[in-house]
Amino acid sequence: MNTTPTNAVTARAITYNLELIQDEISATVARVHPVEVAAVGGYLDDAERIFLAGAGRSGLVLRMAGMRLMHLGRTVHIAGDTTTPAIRKGDVLVVASGSGTTSGVVRSAKTAADVGARIVSLTTNPESPLAELSDAVVLIPAAQKTDHGSSVSRQYAGSLFEQALFVVTEALFQSLWDLSDEPAEELWLRHANLE
């Protein structure tokens, strides 16, 4: 009995799309300016506490980045969590929005600016309201999620932005960790144990 649907995805299609996605990510992160990302490291080093805010899939990537920063011993909070305290002067807010116009993320940045916290944004749009509120901007040259039919990416919606955002935040973590001289075993002691 044949249990394979007639419209099944083929291994050839998977191979093609793995290569497509890998190539798009590589081309995009190669165009991210390392000096912009390094500046973020400086803001994080100077921060009393680090807050992260993003919506949807970008927000999920920032949650992963927050976990890695916590592994480094930083005090990290995710905007919107019930235990997140008020942001204040001396803190840094890291925000991500491909368009730079996501209303909740822009509101978070405005609140942070009003209390004197520093703001770092990762976006595709350096002219956006989010970028204008920011002390530092990392430009990720990917298509925006509403840019259907873009020549920048064949992927759906903001996938390329979110993938590149993950790679950039991982490179930032790796660079901060390289400076810390802490062995992986020390970071692991901070890993969640209530899973």
Taking the C-alpha atoms of residue 118 and residue 89, their distance in angstroms, rounded to an integer, is 8
Active centre residues (catalytic): 162
Q: How many residues does the chain have?
A: 195
Burial state string for 30-49 with b = 16 or more CB within 10 A and e = fewer than 16:
eebeeebbebbbebbeebeb
| Contacts of 90 by beta carbon, 8 Å cutoff, 6+ apart | 47, 48, 49, 116, 117
End-to-end CA separation in angstroms for the chain = 42
Given a contact cutoff of 8 angstroms between Cβ atoms, the answer to whether 48 and 186 are in contact is no
Q: Where do the H-state alpha helices sit in the chain?
A: 11-29, 34-46, 56-71, 103-115, 129-133, 159-180, 184-188
Per DSSP bridges, beta strands 136-139 and 76-78 are unpaired
